[in-house]
Structure 1
Amino acid sequence: MLVKQIMSTPAVTIGPSATLREAVGTMLEEQIGSIVVVDPGMVGIVTRSDILRTQHQTGLSLEELRVQDAMTSEDVVKVSPTNGVDEAAEAMTEHEVKRLPVFEGIDLVGVVTMNDVARCLPDRVDEIRRTLKRKNKDGW
């Protein structure tokens, strides 16, 4: 099975100067756990955990903080819609992430999540979760 068969599309995006309050509102409205940050191309990704961690560490309100304050911008792992789901699961395990932007050339075409992978490869999800738990025990 290929990533394009299980990914969410279109990817929900937000600009880096948007407030974290706006990001949370979008996540709630779209019922998603992350947003791809674009300016105009992809510059990062921001997740619920990123937002919580940043707000807790700074003590500032979500209206005072910007998406760029919380997003992951370096080494964001990407996959292609023609990659196999197993390859996406391997990338998640190797890079200790739950979400991968999907690019076709330079175009953002979707997002694939651990939940998407779980529907196809439930055995792989346990492996990814174990890896992520080790990461969290080591300080995020």
Structure 2
Amino acid sequence: MAAQKVREIMTTAPVAVGPQTSVVEVARLMRDEDIGAVLVAQNEELRGLVTDRDLVVRVMCAGGNIEARAVADACSKQLVSLSPDDDISRAAELMREHSVRRLPVIEEGRPVGIVSLGDLAVERDTDSALADISASEPNE
């Protein structure tokens, strides 16, 4: 039976950092954990989400002393989020409406997961190219 709720497909225990964490440290964390997004939280409250693309576009391309930049400078602050009990169709709808590929999952005010476009692809159409890519081993 196909998953119906976000909690069935989301990545649990998302990696989170504080807003003052260095972007270089965040990039290394992404590399070491083999992930493309990190939540930015303070006192268990979600403050933003930063992707590998955000680091490139908002930090590296801006130049300057990258070592001195905090992740708060790079993260998306206008977040759209879901509850673990939302239907996966709601996740797809929000991704389409807001042109995002990842959505934080919030429960009782705390981040508890992330659902990605790849998660939806694997669940909805296991034969699609995106599902194949999402399910494959990462590049080294």
- Do Structure 1 and Structure 2 share a fold, with TM-score over 0.5? yes
| 5+ long unaligned stretches in structure 2 | 130-140
Match of 2:57 in 1: 53
Alignment of 1:1-140 (within 5 A): 1-40=4-43, 41-74=45-78, 76-122=79-125
Count of residue correspondences: 124
Give the drift of 1:42. 0.8
| 1:97-127 per-position Cα deviation (integer Å, ceiling 9, x unaligned) | 000000112121111011101111239x99x
Alignment check: 8 A CA contact 2:46 2:110 kept:
no
In structure 1, how many angstroms separate the alpha carbons of the residues matched to 2:107 and 2:72? 24
Alignment check: 8 A CA contact 2:20 2:70 kept:
yes
Task: Indicate the RMSD between aligned Cα atoms, in angstroms.
Answer: 1.8
Q: Higher mean Cα deviation, 89-98 or 103-112?
A: 103-112
Q: Which amino acid aligns with 2:109?
A: I
Q: Which amino acid aligns with 1:63?
A: E
Q: Which amino acid aligns with 2:24?
A: R
Q: Percent identity?
A: 34
Which structure shows the higher helix fraction? 1
TM-score, normalization by structure 1: 0.82
Match of 2:137 in 1: none
In structure 2, how many angstroms separate the alpha carbons of the residues matched to 1:68 and 1:42? 12
Q: Which amino acid aligns with 1:28?
A: R
In structure 2, how many angstroms separate the alpha carbons of the residues matched to 1:101 and 1:55? 22
| 5+ long unaligned stretches in structure 1 | 127-140
TM-score, normalization by structure 2: 0.82
